Amino acid sequence: MEASLDGKVAIVTGAGSGIGRAAAAMLAAKGVRVGLFDMDEDTVKDAAADIEAAGGSAIASTVDVTDSQQLKQMFKQTIDQFGQLDIVFANAGINGTLSPIEHLPEEDWDQTLGTNAKGTFLTLKNAIPYMKEKGGSVIITSSINGNRTFSGFGMSAYSASKAAQTAFGKMAALELSAYGIRVNVVCPGGIETNIEERTEKDTAHLAEIEIPKVFPKGQHPLKGKPGKPEDVASIVCFLASDAAGHMSGSVLYADGAETLL
């Protein structure tokens, strides 16, 4: 157990599955009391139950991160329960609809930018009042697709939202430094999560814009396969801890050298 994390309180959005769930579990194992936020009531309750069963402390909240009133209420509920807030992992996000720009419905663009960019903004906005007195750590999940890789055809809304998250994180790091609040960004590459199951694809039109790509053998140089949620969770724990006490405004890539191809 890391001494600098033991006894702290974290809020993790998108905590019902994938990277969020793995990070919440890993933080809890290091002595952090965790508030789990997710739109899916069943999965977030299940994630909290797993943490409790392992000896940790967690509460589950069903939250839409695009709804400022829901977020405000659940932040208050978490702080009322645990008494403080030290760590925020703004992880909730969607791939949205994969479609050429010409055919992408306006409402699908709005939904992707709303969940990923606006959701991150609202999460941090609601966290600041609880963190500004004593400081803390904020970690944002962006993606290689908004910073290093732009060959995800049909992912213009997703890439735009992820680039926005990175820029927002850097702006926030500087603005909040006076309060001792550190803000860093993690950009995962291919990670084994269930986000693809909730992704809509306009297959009728995607073939119109694809450009053939030829890679060296394999697209995941380090391990030969996509990473695990825990590979990102361990970085989140590092950034949340005092070991990263002089890091703010940094962008870390967790892609197994994938984007160096």
Active-site amino acid positions: 158
- H/E stretch holding 231 reads helix 229-240
Cβ(145)–Cβ(195) below 8 Å: no
Report residue 130 as tokens: 């609880």
Distance between CA 19 and CA 21 in Å, rounded? 6
Nearest alpha-carbon partner for 120 in 179, 78, 66, 156: 66
C-alpha dihedral over 153, 155, 161, 164, to 10 degrees?
0
Count of beta carbons in the 10 Å neighbourhood of residue 48:
25
Distance between CA 116 and CA 150 in Å, rounded? 17
Cβ(47)–Cβ(25) below 8 Å: yes
Distance between CA 76 and CA 106 in Å, rounded? 34
Cβ(60)–Cβ(33) below 8 Å: no
Report residue 44 as tokens: 């977030």
Distance between CA 113 and CA 225 in Å, rounded? 29
Q: Interior CA angle at 32 toward 26 and 38, to 5°?
A: 70
